[in-house]
Amino acid sequence: MDQLTRRSFLARTGAGALAAGAAGAALVTPRPAGAAAKVGEPAPAFTAASTSGGSVSLADQRGKIVVLEWTNHDCPYVRKHYESRNMQGLQKEATGQGIVWLSVISSAPGTQGHVSPGQANDLTTKRGAGPTAVLLDPTGAVGKMYGATNTPHMYVIDKAGMLMYAGAIDDRPTSRQSDVPGANNYVRAALQAVSAGQPVKTPATRAYGCTVKYA
Amino acid sequence: MTRLASRPGLQARLRRLAALVLAVGIIGLAAVPGAARAAGAPAEPKVRVDLLSEVGAVAPGATFWVGLRQRIAPGWHTYWINPGDSGEPATIEWTLPRGFQAGPVAWPHPHRIPLGVAMGYGYEDEVVLPVPITAPAGLPPGTRVTLEGRASWVVCEKICIPEEALVALTLPVGPAAPDPSGAPVVARARRAVPLPSPWPASFAASRDTVTLTVAAPGLAAERIAEVWFYPLRWGAIEHAAAQTVEVTARGITLRTARGAAREAAEAPIDGVLVITERLEGGPSSQAFALRVTRADGAAALAGPLGLWQVLVLALAGGLVLNLMPCVLPILSVKALALARQGSGAGATTLRWHGVAYTAGVLASFAILAGVLIALRAGGEQIGWGFQLQSPWFVTLLAYVLFAMALVLSGLLSIGGRLAGLGHGLAARGGYAGSFFTGALATVAATPCTAPFMGVAVGFAVTQPWSTALLVFEALGLGLALPYLLLSLVPAWRRLLPRPGAWMERLEQLLAFPLYASVAWLVWVLSQQAGPPGVAAVLAGLLLIAFAAWLHATSRAARLPWRRAAGAGAALAVLLALAPLPLLSVGAPAPGLGAGEAEGGVAWEPFSTKRLAELRAEGRPVFVNFTAAWCITCLVNERVALRSPAVARAFADKRVAYLKGDWTRRDPQITRVLDAFGRSGVPLYLMYPGTGGPAAGGEPAVLPQILTEGTIVEAVDKS
C-alpha cells in the first residue's frame, strides 16, 4: 500500500509542479509594442548618416551631453522657433558649452520636410542654425527607436548616455511666434540641470508640432 | 508706347518701378494676417465655419447654446480638446455685446485618427462645437444683438495648416423660441457631449501598463461593439497604444500602455469613455466623462513587477489561514498526531508526510482556482458574479459558516457517513492520509476564510488565468507551510503542547469568530437585498440549526427515528436553500417602483392593460422600453427624459409616461417589441391622445437617439 500511495502521491505532486511551471512560463507578459525610449533609462544607440557625408554614432558622443532635435523645415511649429531665432539661439548656447546638438530629419522621401543633404546644408546656412550635425533618417528607424512623434521633438542625453528629457521644446504648444518669448523652455532647463548634475524638474512632456512624416 | 520706348532711361526706370511694385505686392500678400500657409498649400480653406444658434430670439437673462460648425474637407481633420499626439484644439475668441458671457466649449466626444505611429483625437467631415452664451438680464426687447467670434484651429491631413475665420450671428431680443434649423443641429451636437459617468472607475498602474476598471454591472457584452478611453490630458496612457477591453458581468476592464508622465500612477486620470453599442438601426456611440482614481489594495499590484509582491502577500495570507477557526482544529489534530508519531516513526517518513500534506493542499487550491476560472469564463455568459457581491453567494457562505460553527460548538458532530468521507480519508494511514488531510484543510479553509479570500479572489478574477493560478498556489503554500516545516524540522515538534481538555475548550472558543463572520455576512446581505433578504437568511439559519439538532439528537435513537429525523433535517436544509434562486436576481433594475419621479417626470411600470386604460381616457401616452444593460437607453434617459422642458411638455398635454423594463425579458414587452418589428431595446413610442392632430391613430416611433427636441416635437404632434 505504501508503494502505491507513494507513486500516486508523486504523480500528483509532479502534475501540480508541472502546472505551476507552465503557469509561470505563461506569465511572462511582453512589453507593449511601440514602447519608446524612456526617461531615466539608457538612450537607444544609433548610427545615422550626416549631411556633411559620413555618419554620426551616439556611442561616440559618450562623455558629452547630447541634444536630439527632430525637425521638419516646412512645419509651422518648427518655423515658429526658427523664424523667431529661438532655436538658433538655443543651439549656439548649447554648442558653446560643448554640448553636441544633433538635428534629425525622419521625413520619408516624398513627404513634407524631406531634403537631400545639399538642401539640408543650404537650410542650415540660410537660417543661421548651429547644430553640430544634421542627420538624415529617411527610413524613420532612429525616430521610431526614440518614439519621436512630432516636430520639434527634443531629447536630452547626459554624459553617461542616459535619457534625461524627452518631449516638447517649451510649454506653449502653438505655432504662433508671439508665444516664444514668454514660454518656459524645457530644453534649456534640462540642459542646466544635467550640466549641474541635478535631477531634471520636468523630465517628460507632451511634444507638440506636426507629426513626423514616417515612411 | 513707341514714343516711350525711344527714351532708354525712362524704359529702364519703368522696368525698375515695375519690379519694385511687383516685389511690394508679393511681400504685401505674404504679410496678410491669417494667411499663414505652409509652402505650397492651396489657398482655399480646408474648413468652412459658421455659427448656429438653438434659439431664434434671445431672452434677457437666459442661457442658450450656439454651435460653431466646422465643415471639414474630406481626408482632413480637426482636433479635440486633447488633440492626441499632435495638433491643437480649436479656440474661439469672442467679441460679445456688453453683459453677454460665453462659457467654455462643450466638446463632443472625438474619434481616433491614426497618424502613422502616432494617434490624434479629433473630428472628420463635420463637427459642431456647442458653446453656452448667457444674456444679461437688462436687455431691451425689440433690439438686435450680434455675437462675434474669431475661431482658430489646426486642420491636418498629412500636413497641418493653422486656419482662422471670423464668425458672427445676429439675433433679435425677445421671448425664447427655438430656431427651426439651428436647434436640431445644436441638440445633436450636445447629445454627443460626454455625460457624467454613472459608474465609478478606478485604475491600477504597473511599470508598463495601466488597467482601468469601470464598475458597470449588468452590461451585455454582445451588445458592445467597441470601448475606447480618451484621456483629457497627455501622459497617463499612450494615445497610440492598443486598448484591450473585457466586458464582464462586473463591468468593463480596459488595459493599455502607460504614458510617459512621471506621475501617471498617482494622480486621478480624467477622460472620456466611449462605448459603441449595437442597436438595430446601426452602431451608436455613447460617451461618459470619467474621473478614474487609483485603486488601492490587491488590484493595484497588477503587472510583472507587482506579481512577486502579490505572491509574497498570498504566501503570508496562506500562513494566516492556519489560524482561521476552521483550519486550526484540523491542523491541531494532525499536528498532535505528528507529535505522537514523533517518538515512533523515522524522520524521513515524517518528512514525506509533510510533503504529502503540502501536495494535497496545493492540488486542492489548483482545483479551486480552476473552478473559479471556469466559473468566471462561464459566468460571463450567464451573467453571474462569483464574489461577495452576489446575494446568493453570501447566503450560502453564511449557511456553511454557521454549520461549521455548530460543529465547533459541539452542537453538531460530523459523524457517521460524513465522517467516513472526510475524516475517514484523512484518518487513513500513510501518505494518502496526509494528502487528504491537506485537501480537507483547504476545503475547510475556503468557506471560513471567505472575507480574506475575497481579496485574493477579487484580485484573481481581474488577472489572466496564469496569474490567478499562481496566486492561489502561493496561498496554498502558505497554508501548508507550518505543517510542512513541523514535519521537516524535528526540533520544532518538541514545541507542540500536549493534548488535553484544553483542546475541546479551544475548539468551542474558535466557534465564536465563525459566528461573528456569519453576523457580518448577514449585514452584507442586508445591504444587498434589504430587509427581505435578512429575513430570508435568518430563517434559513434557524432551519439549519434545527436540522443540526435533529441530526444530533437522533444519532442515538432507533433506526426509524433516525430516518425520520434525517428526512426532517434534509427538508429543513432544503427550505433554507429555497430563497437562494430569488436572491440571485442580482442588482435590482433601476427604479422599479411605480410613480417614481425622474427629475420631474413621474412614470408607471408598463403593462398592456394600463396602456389600454390610459388610451381609453384619451390621454397621449409616451412609452419607454429600456433594459439595465442598454447604454443608449441610459444616456437617453439622462439627457432627454430628465429635462425640465420635457416635464413641462408632458404636464401641459397631460402625457402619461409608461416605462417598460425588459432586463428580465418580460414576455409582455417582447410581444410589443415584435409587433413593431424590433428585437431589442431601446424603443420609444408616442401614442396620440384624442385631442391632438393625430387623434386615435398609430403611435409614432421615435428615433433611438433621443434629444429634448425630438420628444417635445413628438408631444406637440400628439
| Residue A23 included in any domain | no
CA distance B618 to B612: 10
Domain end marker among B272, B296, B320: B296
The full 3-state SS of B397-446, as one line of letters, equals HHHHHHHHHHHHHCCCCCCCHHHHHHHHHHHCCHHHHHHHHHHHHHHHHH
The verdict on B532 and B603 lying in the same domain is no
Grid cell at residue B252? 468593463
- B197 φ, ψ (degrees, to nearest 5): -70, 130
Q: Does A8 have pLDDT greater than 60?
A: no
| Residue A16 included in any domain | no
The total number of structural domains in chain B stands at 5
**E strand or H helix at B130:** strand B126-134
- B303 to chain A: nearest residue by CA? A29
Task: Using CA atoms of A50, A54, A59, A65 in order, give the dihedral in degrees to the nearest 10.
Answer: -50
The verdict on B210 and B153 lying in the same domain is no
| A175 shares contact with chain B (CB less than 8 Å) | yes
The verdict on B335 and B268 lying in the same domain is no
The total number of structural domains in chain A stands at 1
Of residues B529 and B585, which shows the higher confidence score? Answer: B529
Cross-chain Cβ contact B432/A31 below 8 Å: no
Q: Which amino acid is at B134?
A: T
Cross-chain Cβ contact A32/B303 below 8 Å: no
Cross-chain Cβ contact B116/A39 below 8 Å: no
pLDDT band at B443 (very low <50, low <70, confident <90, very high): low
CA distances from B320 to A63, B105, B445, B482 (A): 54, 55, 11, 10
| Residue B257 included in any domain | yes
CB atoms near residue B575 (< 10 Å): 16
CA distance B601 to B606: 15
B398-411 CB burial, b ≥16 within 10 A, e <16: bbbbbbbbbbbbee
pLDDT band at B704 (very low <50, low <70, confident <90, very high): confident
| Residue B670 included in any domain | yes
Q: Does A198 have pLDDT greater than 80?
A: yes
CB atoms near residue B623 (< 10 Å): 22
Contact in structure between B640 and B711 (CB atoms under 8 Å): yes
User: What does the mean pLDDT of chain B come to?
Assistant: 79
DSSP-derived secondary structure letter, B703: P
**According to the model, what pLDDT value does residue A175 have?**
85
| Residue B37 included in any domain | no
Q: Does B454 have pLDDT greater than 60?
A: no
- A113 to chain B: nearest residue by CA? B159
Of residues B546 and A17, which shows the higher confidence score? Answer: B546
The verdict on B201 and B184 lying in the same domain is no
Q: Does B592 have pLDDT greater than 60?
A: no
Most confident stretch, A70-84, B446-460, B592-606: A70-84
| A32 shares contact with chain B (CB less than 8 Å) | yes
Grid cell at residue B649? 411638455
| Residue A21 included in any domain | no
The verdict on B389 and B346 lying in the same domain is yes
Q: Could you tell me how many CB contacts below 8 A there are between chain A and chain B?
A: 133
pLDDT digits (tens, 9 = 90+) for A140-178: 999 999 999 999 999 999 999 999 999 999 999 888 899
| Residue B41 included in any domain | no
| Residue B218 included in any domain | yes
The verdict on B656 and B507 lying in the same domain is no
Cross-chain Cβ contact A9/B356 below 8 Å: yes
What average pLDDT does range B107-126 have in this prediction? 92
CATH number at residue A128: 3.40.30.10
Handedness of CA B77, B79, B85, B88 (dihedral sign): positive
The verdict on B421 and B562 lying in the same domain is yes
| A145 shares contact with chain B (CB less than 8 Å) | no
Model's pTM, two decimal places? 0.62
**Domain of B495, in residue numbers:** 304-583
| Å between B474 CA and nearest CA of chain A | 10
The verdict on B327 and B433 lying in the same domain is yes
**Domain of A48, in residue numbers:** 37-211
- A145 to chain B: nearest residue by CA? B117
CA distances from B265 to B207, B300, B475 (A): 9, 10, 28
The verdict on B328 and B362 lying in the same domain is yes
Domain end marker among B159, B191, B223: B191
Q: Does A55 have pLDDT greater than 90?
A: yes
What average pLDDT does range B626-646 have in this prediction? 85
What average pLDDT does range B664-688 have in this prediction? 87
| Residue A76 included in any domain | yes
Q: Does B711 have pLDDT greater than 70?
A: yes
Grid cell at residue B20? 519694385
CB atoms near residue B516 (< 10 Å): 13
pLDDT digits (tens, 9 = 90+) for B335-380: 656 655 555 556 677 777 788 888 888 888 888 778 777 776 665 4
Q: Does B435 have pLDDT greater than 60?
A: yes
**According to the model, what pLDDT value does residue B235 have?**
87
The verdict on B514 and B385 lying in the same domain is yes
| Residue A49 included in any domain | yes
User: Could you tell me where the beta strands, DSSP code E, fall in B537-669?
Assistant: 597-598, 601-602, 604-605, 621-626, 656-661
Q: Does A11 have pLDDT greater than 60?
A: no
Question: Over pLDDT 90: what percentage of chain A?
Answer: 74
| Residue A15 included in any domain | no
| Residue B287 included in any domain | yes
| Residue A4 included in any domain | no
Report the Cα–Cα distance between both ends of chain B, in Å, rounded. 81
Per CB-CB distance under 8 Å, the chain B contacts of A212 are 116-118
pLDDT digits (tens, 9 = 90+) for B615-628: 888 889 999 998 88
Alpha carbon of residue B175 to chain centroid: 43
Per CB-CB distance under 8 Å, the chain B contacts of A12 are 359, 363, 435
**C-alpha angle B543-B547-B548 in degrees, rounded to nearest 5:** 120
Considering only the beta carbons, identify the residue of B86, B356, B466 that sits closest to A210. Answer: B86
pLDDT digits (tens, 9 = 90+) for B478-497: 888 888 887 777 677 666 66
Cross-chain Cβ contact A35/B431 below 8 Å: no
CATH number at residue B215: 2.60.40
| A107 shares contact with chain B (CB less than 8 Å) | no
Cross-chain Cβ contact B260/A167 below 8 Å: yes
What average pLDDT does range B169-194 have in this prediction? 92
Alpha-carbon Rg for chain A, nearest whole angstrom, is 24
Domain end marker among B536, B552, B583: B583
Q: Does A47 have pLDDT greater than 50?
A: yes
**According to the model, what pLDDT value does residue B395 have?**
82
pLDDT band at B80 (very low <50, low <70, confident <90, very high): very high
Q: Does A3 have pLDDT greater than 70?
A: no
The verdict on B460 and B526 lying in the same domain is yes
pLDDT band at B296 (very low <50, low <70, confident <90, very high): low
Cross-chain Cβ contact A150/B86 below 8 Å: yes
Contacts of B204 (CB under 8 A, 6+ apart): B210, B211, B213, B294, B295, B299, B300, B301, B302, B303
| Residue B36 included in any domain | no
Contact in structure between A98 and A159 (CB atoms under 8 Å): no
CATH number at residue B631: 3.40.30.10
Q: Does A23 have pLDDT greater than 70?
A: no
**According to the model, what pLDDT value does residue B452 have?**
54
CA distance B487 to B347: 8
| B157 shares contact with chain A (CB less than 8 Å) | no
Of residues B695 and B126, which shows the higher confidence score? Answer: B126
| Residue B42 included in any domain | no
| Residue A8 included in any domain | no
What average pLDDT does range B223-237 have in this prediction? 92
Q: Does A135 have pLDDT greater than 60?
A: yes
**According to the model, what pLDDT value does residue B449 have?**
57
B residues 70..99 contacting A (CB < 8 A): 85-86, 88
CA distances from B425 to A91, B333, B430, B609 (A): 81, 14, 11, 62
| Å between A208 CA and nearest CA of chain B | 6
Q: Which of A91-105, B23-37, B107-121, B547-561 has the lowest mean pLDDT?
A: B23-37
Considering only the beta carbons, identify the residue of A19, A74, A149 that sits closest to B86. Answer: A149
pLDDT band at B595 (very low <50, low <70, confident <90, very high): very low
Report the Cα–Cα distance between both ends of chain A, in Å, rounded. 72
Of residues B374 and B60, which shows the higher confidence score? Answer: B60
